[in-house]
Structure 1
């Protein structure tokens, strides 16, 4: 249950922040955002504020911001259609009733002759007396279909009407917000845990190490080992790690009193099958707001570099698909992180946030990076790509991504359960 709660909170936060980035910068550019959704599939909850419907959907596998102009309009009115019109106080059309006109007895029923709801914002049609009339339409008029309201999207409110820079920023904002979230999480981690101090001081002692057996205490300053003076925490750990099962003579300064103790580091096998010495001590920490801010940004950058390097190894064949993890693997690792405490879980959430940002920036169809690639091509060509062709590329790319997800998930099942 703890794993499930952790994964819901972490993924919900990561997706929410990512989509919030798209939403904020799309709205700043003047793009009509019809829906802000967390999840896919049937709606579980919906709430409309201003122009946008905020929804939570059944399948928690991501989210989306539906911007006007990215997809064909769901409602299309052609000449010959019979519609009802509702008017604002200034005489312009504010409601366009598609069906169930009997429920809107005050609506003026016309048969459409011409209609332009993108640029001219006008409707021309014949009334019940066969008289041809022309009506101006409000920029924020609504379609009413099955008693559900959908705002029209004039061209100046559509994604494609904006400058290349505005569109690129609206797309890039999602991954950027994931990087920003990782930095904030890591700043919070540093404020809670403290920042490592690069001095040969015992920060804490664990219960099952050689250090506690000889009486080392928090705050002890390790002056020298085997007569060699130490200046940094790195000096201390390098000597210990190189000396598994070897007796070392520690010179300790405790509150101004000097004494020596002999310690034999345990031999422990690391992730690369390398045997290192281990005595069971942690580095000292300090609490500093400025240091925490710097740590948040620098650690986020290190995660970005590490993940990019891993992707490079995947491309060069040093990694295979077996090294990748999908939803099952992430669920399993999140459970392990949750068992190790909130601080480890925070670090794991930061790594996942950076990973989500980088993956989305890959120049692959259906991802943010793929959309940015098409914007770049438009800049080079001086004209946009045919929307239908772009849509086909994104559809094929999405299908291939789903196939990759199935392969990775099957690998996870074999790895963890079979």
Structure 2
């Protein structure tokens, strides 16, 4: 159960920050955001605040921000339709009732001559029960359409995604992956603030209960001055001397409480990939510093970003195959393993996953953020956008292929871990 909770919290946080990036920059651009959703499928929680409905859906495998203009916008109001209008004190329509008009006795029933609820915000028609004279009704910019009792706010064209500048649209899409890198950075900084950052001082950190260092009489906080007469100035020097001398007694000259001591220690031999090394069961020194914690956070983010790109490169060159990929099942299994190592390892795992999600979404694959950014790049080069229907078809095909890949990867994970 603890693994299930950890998986949901981690995956939920990754999706939340990703979609929050889209939401923040879309709203900054003035785009009407209809829904901010975590998960897919049926709604299990819904709360509307201002213009946006915040929902949690049943399947925790992603999320989305539904921006006005991204999908077919509204029901088209055609000439001859009978609609109900509720007007404010200035005579502007605040509600446009498409059916079940009898539930709104205060509404004025209008037979539509023409209607534009995106650009002109104007409805022309004949009011039922009044003299047959064409009347004009301005539409409030925040008016709602009412159909089957459900209200949907209209989106004037200047509040739709397509109306914004190329830069604003690019930032609204790029902000999702960007926030995954921000989340990873915050996680790594938090780990460093709580746990401390590695130091290069030649000072012994914590000692393991079964290591030869503790058995020989070394203590946490001992300052290593030399080993076998060789001067030691950094922690790296300590590690190298120990690793190079398995099963060989080493004379440690250390300083403890102002006193210089000489303590013999024999590193235990351990078999690793590439040969044998010596270990004495001691951790490196750490220090707690806000400035160094921030630096550590940036360095970890950079190092893991570089590492993930290197692994992607191996996938392209064929060094890795599709069997090396993991989906939700594989991530769950890895989370279970990492969770047993402690909260800090789990936090670090979340940071790595966040970077991975950010990078994957930036790849120029249709249906992902990177695919959309690729279309924006083409638009910048040719000076005009690609036909929306053609772009939509490319994204649809890309999404279908991604779902197929997800099924294959998930089946491989199930076979690897459970069959």
Change (3 A) 1:152 1:382: same
Contact 2:68 2:160 in 1 (8 A): yes
Gaps of 5+ in 1: none
Q: How far 1:274 moved relative to its partner?
A: 4.3
* Alignment counterpart, residue 205 of structure 1, candidates 193, 204, 207: 207
State the secondary structure of the residue aligned to 1:241: helix
Give the Cα separation in 2 of the matches to 1:283 and 1:178: 30
Q: Which position in structure 2 is the counterpart of 1:62? A: 62
Q: How far 1:223 moved relative to its partner?
A: 1.6
Q: How far 1:275 moved relative to its partner?
A: 3.2
Change (3 A) 1:279 1:85: same
Q: Which position in structure 1 is the counterpart of 2:45? A: 45
1:100 has 2:100 as partner: yes
Contact 2:97 2:146 in 1 (8 A): yes
Give the Cα separation in 1 of the matches to 2:127 and 2:394: 44
Q: Which position in structure 2 is the counterpart of 1:88? A: 88
Gaps of 5+ in 2: none
Q: How far 1:269 moved relative to its partner?
A: 3.7
1:71 has 2:71 as partner: yes
Give the Cα separation in 1 of the matches to 2:245 and 2:394: 57
Give the Cα separation in 2 of the matches to 1:361 and 1:107: 49
Contact 2:74 2:154 in 1 (8 A): no
State the secondary structure of the residue aligned to 1:173: helix
State the secondary structure of the residue aligned to 1:205: coil
Hey, which bits of structure 1, 4+ residues long, moved more than 6 A?
none
Give the Cα separation in 1 of the matches to 2:255 and 2:323: 50
Q: How far 1:276 moved relative to its partner?
A: 2.4
Change (3 A) 1:314 1:137: same
In the TM superposition, what are the counterparts of 1:148-163 in structure 2 within 5 Å?
A: 148-163=150-165
CA RMSD, Structure 1 to Structure 2 (Å): 1.3
- In the alignment of these two chains, the number of paired residues is 417
Give the Cα separation in 2 of the matches to 1:406 and 1:243: 49
Q: How far 1:41 moved relative to its partner?
A: 0.4
Q: Deviations over 1:125-158 (max 9, x none)?
A: 2222543222111111100111111011111000
Change (3 A) 1:206 1:95: same
Q: Which position in structure 2 is the counterpart of 1:359? A: 360
State the secondary structure of the residue aligned to 1:353: helix
TM-score under structure 1 length normalisation = 0.97
Q: Deviations over 1:73-104 (max 9, x none)?
A: 25232222221111112111110101111101
Give the Cα separation in 1 of the matches to 2:218 and 2:414: 45
1:261 has 2:263 as partner: yes
Give the Cα separation in 2 of the matches to 1:273 and 1:3: 34
Q: How far 1:174 moved relative to its partner?
A: 0.9
Give the Cα separation in 1 of the matches to 2:33 and 2:350: 28
Q: Deviations over 1:180-210 (max 9, x none)?
A: 1111111110011111110221011011211
1:371 has 2:387 as partner: no
Give the Cα separation in 2 of the matches to 1:116 and 1:86: 17
* Alignment counterpart, residue 143 of structure 1, candidates 139, 142, 145: 145
Give the Cα separation in 1 of the matches to 2:362 and 2:84: 45
Q: Which position in structure 1 is the counterpart of 2:393? A: 392
Q: Which position in structure 2 is the counterpart of 1:246? A: 248
